[in-house]
Amino acid sequence: MGVATVVLVVLLPMSWWIRACLAGIGAIAVTVDIVVAMRRDCWRITLSMDRRITVEHGGRERVGVVLDASYVTRDLTCIVWLEDGARLARAIPVPRDALSSEEHRRLRVALRYSRPGDEPPEGPGASAAAWLKGDLVA
C-alpha cells in the first residue's frame, strides 16, 4: 500500500472515522515498507575476473559463478549467477545510481570481458585488466 492509495482512500465518500482508520492503517503499512526496505538493502558483492562471485546478504555468504545471461548496459546491469550446488540461477539487478560511476564502470567492464578460469583470454577479453586500470578508453 503506497501513499497514493492512502490519499485515494481518504477521498472516498464514507464516514470520517472509517477514513481515519484506513488512513492510519495505510500510514503504518507505508512505514513498515520503508523499514523493511532499509534493512534489506545490505548487499556485498565480490566479483573476480574468472567469473566467480561472492554474495553476502543478511549475514549469509554465498559463492557461485556468473552466467553468460548477465545483462550489461549503461543504465542497468543484471548479474545472473548460479550458486555452487544450486539448480536454479539467481539475478541481482544493479541500477546505475546504486554505485558510483567509477564502480559501475568497473562492474560493467568485469562482466563484459571476464572469462571462466579454464578459458584462455584472447581478443578484446585479454585487455580487461587494462580496462579496469583505466589504460583503455571506450
For the four alpha carbons of 94, 47, 106 and 36, in that order, the dihedral sign comes to positive
Count H helices, E strands: the chain?
4, 6
Averaged pLDDT for residues 38-42:
64
What pLDDT, on a 0 to 100 scale, did the predictor assign at position 122? 47
Q: Enumerate the domain spans of the chain.
A: 3-40, 43-133
pLDDT digits (tens, 9 = 90+) for 43-92: 788 888 888 899 887 778 899 999 888 888 888 888 999 999 988 998 88
Mark out the alpha helices in 45-135 (DSSP H runs). 101-113, 128-133
pLDDT digits (tens, 9 = 90+) for 102-123: 888 888 888 887 766 555 444 4
Per the structure block, which three cell numbers stand in for 50?
574468472
Element holding 57 (H helix, E strand): strand 52-57
**Mean pLDDT for all residues in the chain:** 77
What pLDDT, on a 0 to 100 scale, did the predictor assign at position 119? 52
